[in-house]
Amino acid sequence: MTNDQNFTPEASPASGDNIGRLLRMAGPRPVAPHEREERVKEAVRAQWRAAVRGRRQRAWLTRGGFALAAAASLIVVFGLLNRATIAPEPLFQGPVGHLETVVGAVKRIDTAGREQPLRVGDTISGGELIDTGVIGRAAVRLASGSSLRLDHGTRLRGLTDSVVSLEAGGVYLDSGGAGTSGTVEIRTRFGSVHDIGTQFEVRLDDEEIRVRVREGAINIDRDGQLYDAGVGMELTVDASGEWSRRSVPVFGPEWDWILAVAPVFELEGRTLDVFLSWVSRETGIQPRFVDAEDAEGAPQVVLHGSIEGMRPDQALDAVLPTCGLAHRLDGGIVVIQAEGP
């Protein structure tokens, strides 16, 4: 024990020998109870498993992050490639139609954004926009032969000779007259209106599209969902796809605006029956002769002069008296008879 008491660590030439002597002096440590040993082992194993899971998770997140970033990059690149390789629909090469009538100030805006006033006889090309403004109206004869009329506050773009895009306002289409070929499509943000040899009006605002059918039938195609309407019906479809249908008259004040912009009828040399057919198509009223003899003689009555500047309903007052005939309106019928003595 004396030698152990005289020991100092600083005096030892090797620290390893000192540690060994201290361990020998301490003697053997008591053996830990078995239960405590198992608890320690389990705690160590739990820490090890947690550490391994953490490393794996970090590795997965890193790889997943790289994968997501790569996928996002591919999407962006694919989108850019798509934008670079998918060309826009080419503009229609050729005239969409020409202007037959202009009331007030009407302008066109070409594909470069240039504006200029429109005049009777002007040709409308593919992609050009017609803007009637607050007071303007216009009638366009499409290259397909159909008559298309634009009310106040209308913006319409000609896409082809049989397809137009209505951006605002109201239009009236007569695609069933003589000399027309094929059908016409009017595209709007609420769907596309297709005619079936008919006369109809399309109105567009921020909330809905409204179509009134005067003759024939139409359908509205909204993302594959079809809505249809026949003569004397009004069909309304809103932004959510909700729709309604009701009966409307095919003549009267609701249709007056189209008479103000009706194309000029060349009266000189035409027969009375042709003139009455034109009036009927424009106004929606049907002629009826009181005397069958007058009706049979109408194709032989040749007319002379001009009715330029007159609405179709006003033209009756100017033309029939020159034929020795008088008329009166009875609802949707114009009753025609010989003037009295």
Give the class (CATH, top level) of 95-255: mainly beta
Question: Which one-letter amino acid corresponds to residue 234?
Answer: E
Angle at 173 between CA 282 and CA 307, to 5 degrees: 30
Residues in the chain: 341
CA 103 to mean position of chain CA atoms: 27
What whole-number distance in Å separates Cα of residue 232 and Cα of residue 214?
6
pLDDT of 44: 43
User: Residue 326 pairs with which residues in a beta bridge?
Assistant: 337
Token code pair at residue 124 = 């409308």
φ, ψ of residue 78 to 5 degrees: the values are -60, -40
Tell me the pairing of strands 243-247 and 286-289.
unpaired
pLDDT of 57: 47
Indicate the CATH number of 264-338 among 3.40.50.300, 3.40.50.1370, 3.40.50.1100, 3.55.50.30.
Answer: 3.55.50.30
Please report where in the chains the tokens 């006369």 appear, as a residue. 199
What whole-number distance in Å separates Cα of residue 168 and Cα of residue 193?
14
User: What does each C-alpha distance from 84 to 79, 81, 87, 232, 292 come to in angstroms?
Assistant: 8, 5, 8, 48, 71
pLDDT of 11: 41
Token code pair at residue 1 = 């024990």
The residues near 200 (Cβ < 8 Å, ≥ 6 apart) are 172, 173, 193, 211, 212, 213, 214, 215, 216, 218
pLDDT of 292: 94
pLDDT of 159: 93
Angle at 203 between CA 202 and CA 209, to 5 degrees: 95
pLDDT of 39: 45
Question: Which one-letter amino acid corresponds to residue 160?
Answer: T
pLDDT of 75: 38
- pLDDT tens string, the chain, 341 residues long: the values are 444 444 344 443 444 455 455 445 445 544 444 444 454 445 445 544 555 455 544 444 444 454 444 444 433 333 333 433 444 456 777 899 999 999 999 999 998 999 999 999 999 999 999 999 999 999 999 998 999 999 999 999 999 988 999 999 999 999 876 556 668 999 999 999 998 878 999 999 999 999 999 999 999 999 899 999 999 999 999 999 999 999 999 999 999 999 999 999 999 999 999 999 999 999 999 999 999 999 999 999 999 999 999 999 999 999 999 999 999 999 999 999 998 76
The domain limits of the chain are 95-255, 264-338
Q: Where are the alpha helices (DSSP H) in the chain?
A: 2-5, 15-26, 34-85, 256-260, 272-283, 292-297, 312-319
Tell me the pairing of strands 95-103 and 137-142.
antiparallel
pLDDT of 291: 95
φ, ψ of residue 28 to 5 degrees: the values are -70, 140
Q: Where are the beta strands (DSSP E) in the chain?
A: 95-103, 107-109, 115-117, 123-125, 129-131, 137-142, 147-150, 155-158, 163-174, 185-188, 191-204, 208-222, 225-230, 233-238, 243-247, 286-289, 325-330, 333-338
